[in-house]
Structure 1
Amino acid sequence: EETIRSVLMQGYPNLEYIVLDGCSTDNTSSILNRYRDEITHCVIEPDRGQSDALNKGFKLATGEILAWLNSDDCYLPETLYRVAIAFDLYKADMLAGGCQLREGFSRTIFRTHHTALPLGEVVPLPLDRLLDLDHCWQKGEFFYQPEVFWTRELWQRTGGKVDDKLFYSMDYELWVRMAYHNAQAIHIPDSITLFRLHEKQKTYGDEIPFLPELRSVCEYYQQKIHE
């Protein structure tokens, strides 16, 4: 519910909010019913996983600026205004801001993450550094998923979907694909999102089952750029 409220309370006049729920067995459906009149599209039906649900949602989207927000995470106040202003000021087709990291449902921020991209400067999203998993990606040089927004033009230019064969790394693959298609990125100083770390996350803990999938994506694009 906090995720939904963080979006609806933005006060942004041109919001198109699409919610996908794969028939959750918790109280998600009752929460969605309370906000259904304020949600542009609310789709409650079985899906084949997160990537499939994302693609269903993006097919419904008509906006010029796109993003997704998972149910554990939140937008901070005025995020959508800050993002819209930045896209208006800069000739970028991708944006990243600050992401507050919290442990579970604690109110304590233990770190605010920022990408290593230069602040306030439109730069090519560097494919070589994205593909350097050990020295760049795993070191936190790039993105926590909810801190990224992009334009419809970039989305369409890069295929208009996330890779539904991926279970863990659909966001990483999308950023790499955007870099491969010459995305121009802007890094803004504002903290715009909240990302929660908790033990039920697919990518949480010392065991790292998502790394083989990350490496397979990396190897695919390394081969692709050398074709």
Structure 2
Amino acid sequence: MHGDLGPTALLVGAVAGLLAGVALWRWLRTGAYRYDTDEPRSRLERSWVVVPLAAAGGAVAGLTPWPLPAAAWVYLVGGAALVWIDVDVHRVPDAVTRVWGPLVALALVVTAMVTGQYGVLWGAAAGALALGLLFGVMAFFSLGLGDVKLALVTGLVVGPLGVTGVITALVATCAVAAAVGVGLLLRGAGRKAHLAYGPALVAGAAVALLVAT
């Protein structure tokens, strides 16, 4: 599974991510994802941050071991939008995951068919099941169902990396979430303040993909 596709793939992934990020930004700045019951925490004009995030995600995908680059690109670039949304309204919209998740799965299926490496699909299914079950249990205590669905999609991408990849993603996710939590406490937030877990999950997956290169 290891192997670097080279600087060309990194550049192509980054440029494609940049272009997709612009399209995502044009949608996000309309605030169409917000519900009347939401309590927005971010200013829509700052949603431009999704553009460099998507470009960075595309670059990481270019470094991802074969045959994961396509699925990793869809995950990380789409994940940039989910990071913004979750930070803004502390919610992972079903309308987004219903499109994004199947696109990640489709990228895996097409890649497996083209390369003949169907083992990647078993790994993806195992990863989705493992993270889905774990976050499903955690949902009984603190997480929302949106985070569970995000965990399922995340498992599709890190599952093919094996047990080590899944564990790396989990450890990195917890580390990022802990760092953000400490930061919130230092800024005066109460101990019961809500923590958006989506960004930590996406960041954790990115770390696992980078470590696997």
Question: TM class, shorter-chain normalised?
Answer: 0.3 to 0.5
More strand by share: 1
Q: State TM-score, norm by structure 2.
A: 0.32
Instruction: Tell me the TM-score normalized by structure 1.
Output: 0.31
More helix by share: 2
